[in-house]
Chain A
Amino acid sequence: GAGVSQSPSNKVTEKGKDVELRCDPISGHTALYWYRQSLGQGLEFLIYFQGNSAPDKSGLPSDRFSAERTGGSVSTLTIQRTQQEDSAVYLCASSEPGLAYEQYFGPGTRLTVT
């Protein structure tokens, strides 16, 4: 079956611009996560959605970052007024009900802020 998909695969933007990154989780997966990986770093948790519950936004690094999940499926991560330190690979993952530890990742969006 189809895995987690993300778009775009690459995004180059100028400092100060807003960007939107999209994630399509695996059908039937109720949990959706956003992580990012900066150069030389591990994956850093950003935000988590589970069904209709309020999202866990504890990992968002600043109020320039926001995310939404429409209809319990597709999610969009928005970064406003991008900064060079936002350059990273942004990864989305989803998991089945009851198997939240085993997360399935998309290929990521490589964001470069110039």
Chain B
Amino acid sequence: DQQVKQNSPSLSVQEGRISILNCDYTNSMFDYFLWYKKYPAEGPTFLISISSIKDKNEDGRFTVFLNKSAKHLSLHIVPSQPGDSAVYFCAASPYGGATNKLIFGTGTLLAVQP
């Protein structure tokens, strides 16, 4: 049972435009959400996170929005750059989890066209 879902396997946008990557979750006990970026042949790298007590977190060109009632979060990248082309994973951590293990979605491949 997939608790974290990324329903779009791929997304293509033009350089300079906004990229919006979406993620849905089913477990209302998740209390922390993260986005990771992964280039080929490399491990994922942490990008941005948000606590369940917030609805928005911004870091430079990257903004994560959380809609708890809809169990939905999104990552906005603006303006998009060719170097942003990568696989983006959404991840969540269960509330009160003793191990902080992360539950990942299946990823969305973003291609930013020059």
Point out residues on A near B: beta carbons under 8 Å: 4, 31, 33, 35, 40-45, 48, 50, 56, 59, 91, 93, 95, 100-108
Alpha-carbon distance A41/B36, docked complex (angstroms): 15
Whole-angstrom CA separation of A33 from B4 in the bound complex:
19
Q: Given A91-B43, A104-B46, check contact A43 B102 (CB 8 Å).
A: yes
* B25 lies within 8 A of chain A by Cβ: no
Contact status B93-A59, CB under 8 Å: no
Contact flag A102-B49 (CB < 8 Å), given A4-B43, A48-B99, A107-B42: yes
Give B36's nearest chain A residue, CB to CB: A105
Given contacts A41-B106, A107-B41, A108-B43, contact A101 B101 (CB under 8 A): no
Report B18-58 CB contacts with A as 1/0, cut-off 8 Å: 00000000000000101010000111111001000000000
Contact flag A100-B106 (CB < 8 Å), given A106-B43, A107-B42: no
Nearest chain A residue, comparing its CB with the CB of B41: A107
Which chain B residues have a beta carbon within 8 Å of chain A's beta carbons? 2, 4, 6, 32, 34, 36, 41-46, 49, 89, 91, 93, 98-107
Q: Do A105 and B101 have beta carbons less than 8 Å apart?
A: no
Chain A to chain B contacts (Cβ below 8 Å), 16 pairs: A40-B106, A43-B44, A43-B89, A43-B104, A48-B100, A56-B98, A56-B101, A101-B32, A101-B93, A101-B100, A101-B102, A103-B46, A104-B45, A104-B46, A106-B43, A107-B41
Contact B93 A105 (CB under 8 A): no
CB B2 to nearest CB in A, in angstroms, measures 8
Are A42 and B43 closer than 8 Å at their CB atoms?
Answer: no
Q: A50-B99, A59-B101, A101-B49 are in contact. List 19 more A-B contacts (CB 8 A).
A: A4-B43, A33-B101, A33-B102, A35-B104, A41-B106, A42-B2, A42-B6, A42-B89, A42-B105, A43-B89, A45-B101, A45-B103, A48-B99, A48-B101, A95-B100, A105-B36, A105-B44, A106-B43, A107-B43
